[in-house]
Structure 1
Amino acid sequence: MNDMQEQDRMILDSVDRFCTTEIDPVAHDLEAKDEYPHQIVEKMKEMGLFGCIISEDYGGLGLSTEVYAQIIERIARSWMSVSGIINSHLIMASAVQRAGTEEQKAEFLPRFATGELRGGIGLTEPDAGTDLQAIRTTAVRDGDDYVVNGTKTWITNSGQGNCIALLVKTDPKAEPRHRGMSLLIAEKGPGFNVARKLEKLGYRGIDTCELEFKDYRVPANRLIGGEEGKGLKHVLSGLELGRINVAARGVGLAQAALDEATSYSQVRKTFGKPICEHQAIQLQLGEMATRTRAARLLTLDAARAFDRGERCDMEAGMAKYFATEAALENATAAMRIHGGYGYSKEYNVERLYRDAPLLTIGEGTNELQRIIIAKQQIERNPA
């Protein structure tokens, strides 16, 4: 094992210990109260996890996407909400690292890496989700500033965080529409208002909010890349990373459901023997274990393609689609294996059952992933 592999192993081992000692003991209670995990976040700052994939040149850990995906899997296995605190933040950071000016990188990446500036991406609006070109939030140039007006919703890390990568229309009349879209580094300030925290079925404990921008001013030098009209391009390249992350979360949740079902099936007895000895339960466990392993391999395959710098929207889409469906199917199977206890808030499987559906919707619905996969299949294999 070379030095880099040894370093990666040490990092993953430290994340395992972090999950066991810092997340597992409190996840159940914090999730039930929908309470933000402040102490967990502070520990993640100390560990440098907010700088996972930020270059060492800017104070980050400089980890590969492959290692990052394994970190996310481990955290999601303990409590999926905590993994979201890192994911949205690093999509924002990677947009700056990949497309920002040298001045923007020098100013913001070190602060992102420490978690001093922490946040996510402001894309979705009440009438624009998957169709991002339909956004209505505008940014009008006024001297050395942009003046922003509009509404964003379902924005992760926007309550407790203090900065987002904000997708806006700098030219609402542009055709095609994406040529009028830009991405701004938006720190909280006058006119940047958190309107409300959204109540959710699952994915609790993390702040998901609706934002209102009323004559909010952003310095023009916060335009990522320094050129208008490139915002959608910056966002879409970042979503490959986001989908790998969500796939890793799916793997973690699928593994958690498998772990819970495997353990419970060995202690619960019916008709004089543990239920794991009944063929009906064995069939379920066999399916769950296979789905989990397949999901993990697809996710690592996509992460490695991303690390090689290859276009990987097909691979990321496959991983995201399969792994999140595996999470949903495994969570459902774990609940059924637990019987009545699976429906009780006393057991973790009830939380897994509520968390899993979000993964099939977020970062592009699974219906959209299948369309992306099909289009790439055709494009890569012309008749």
Structure 2
Amino acid sequence: MNFQLDEDILLLKRGVRDFVQTEVEAAAMEIEESNAIPERIIAMSKELGLFGLSIPEEYGGLGIGMVGKCALYEEIGATHNGFTTLIGAHTGIGTVGIVEMGNEEQKQRYLPKMASGEQIGAFALTEPSAGSNATNLKTTAVRRGDKYILNGTKHYITNATEAGVFTVMAVTDPAKGPKGITSFIVEKDFPGFQVGAVEKKMGLRGSHSAEIIMEDCEVPAENVLGEEGQGYVNALKILANGRAGLAARNLGSCQKLLDLSMLYAKDRVQFDVPIFEHQAVSHMIAEMAMEIEALRSFTYRVAWMVDEGMKVIKEAAMLKLFGSEVYNRIADKAVQVHGGIGYIADYPIERFFRDARITRIYEGTSEIQKNIIAGQLKKQYQQQ
């Protein structure tokens, strides 16, 4: 395995780190208070090419492999998670479906604008009746001439209010179960499409999730993504592809929490010595550092496997599970190390603690990842 980054990626990584530390961090409280990412931050993100990380160069993106993307996601994860989620959802599940499964006409039509950030991407699978049970979709798609007519409601759709392009899963043949689900590329301006209520969340201020409602929504037949009936398989591929990137974003947040905790523990004096000198505190920090190194190694191993074209269903599920659980444990320890100040909203620790909780739920809950792992192990041992 080779995790060595070439000079171009290292240069971009340094640029992203500088941007995150000087610009995004300075806007963190503004994001919390306004529940919006400032336009200047979005504009600078476009200039850096952050919206095009997953998109090949021939369509205007940076064409970076998964190892390189994880190196950049790690930097992006070290700041406000609302900003991190806007970028991550777009460059992950919002675009990879078109990149991996779109035909040439679809790629030419959508990817250049998505790479520049002119159009944001979103992924619409979850419904009131279909969360962890993703096959229980009620949204339907019926072909009428050269169009499909979509009817149904999705919810918890990240980037819904910002997105111009949605990857939508709908049932085209109810009799076929999971094999009757089809993927569609749906534009926000298509007739019958509207964004509904914006959900109020525990964390991720600045990252908006909302309902999308389709009432006789007209989608051209050429906007079927992949083959009809392959939508559920497509969804699994899209989600699995993004799991190394999500883990890298979690890794960046974990490293930030360790850095903040170490600085605080060296400066905060109790009983006449810095609290780092108290074994209870230093042991918590040692545990944080150990888990971060384990997560870092696991993240880049899976990223390398993706770049090598290997099957990573089991490993990606393990990584998503491990990364989100580690982030939550480290956020909890960081609050404990900081004591009372870690619970105060004027400081970043409290924000990371709230933002960490969703990582065990979105893009597949921890329990669903265990199901995937167990299922893959069962297949593996049946073949032996």
TM interval, shorter chain, is over 0.9
| 1:1-383 equivalences in 2 (<5 Å) | 5-90=6-91, 91-174=93-176, 177-189=177-189, 190-225=191-226, 227-382=227-382, 383=384
Deviation at 1:206, TM superposition (A): 0.8
CA RMSD of aligned residues (A): 1.6
Q: What CA distance in whole angstroms lies between the structure 2 residues aligned with 1:238 and 1:304?
A: 17
Cα deviations by residue, 1:334-379 (Å, 9 ceiling, x for unpaired):
1111111111111110001101110111111111112222332343
Cα deviations by residue, 1:176-208 (Å, 9 ceiling, x for unpaired):
x11111111110123211111100001111111
Deviation at 1:325, TM superposition (A): 1.0
Cα deviations by residue, 1:130-151 (Å, 9 ceiling, x for unpaired):
2111011111111111111100
Residue ranges of structure 2 left out of the alignment (5+ in a row): none
TM-score by length of 1: 0.95
- Could you tell which deviates more after superposition, 207-216 or 245-254? 245-254
Q: What CA distance in whole angstroms lies between the structure 1 residues aligned with 2:287 and 2:348?
A: 20
TM-score by length of 2: 0.95
- Could you tell which deviates more after superposition, 54-63 or 268-277? 54-63
Contact 1:301/1:315 (<8 A) preserved: no
Deviation at 1:4, TM superposition (A): 7.0
Letter in 2 for 1:367: E
Which 4+ residue blocks in structure 1 deviate beyond 6 angstroms? none
Q: What CA distance in whole angstroms lies between the structure 2 residues aligned with 1:97 and 1:345?
A: 39
SS of the residue 1:261 aligns to: helix
Letter in 2 for 1:262: M
Letter in 1 for 2:112: P
Contact 1:292/1:323 (<8 A) preserved: no
Residue ranges of structure 1 left out of the alignment (5+ in a row): none
- Could you tell which deviates more after superposition, 270-279 or 104-113? 104-113
Letter in 1 for 2:150: V
Q: What CA distance in whole angstroms lies between the structure 1 residues aligned with 2:69 and 2:82?
A: 16
Contact 2:119/2:165 (<8 A) preserved: yes
Letter in 1 for 2:291: R
Contact 2:95/2:121 (<8 A) preserved: no
Q: Percent identity?
A: 37
Q: What CA distance in whole angstroms lies between the structure 2 residues aligned with 1:304 and 1:197?
A: 37
Q: What CA distance in whole angstroms lies between the structure 1 residues aligned with 2:251 and 2:5?
A: 24
Deviation at 1:381, TM superposition (A): 4.0
Cα deviations by residue, 1:112-160 (Å, 9 ceiling, x for unpaired):
2112221210010011112111011111111111111100000011101
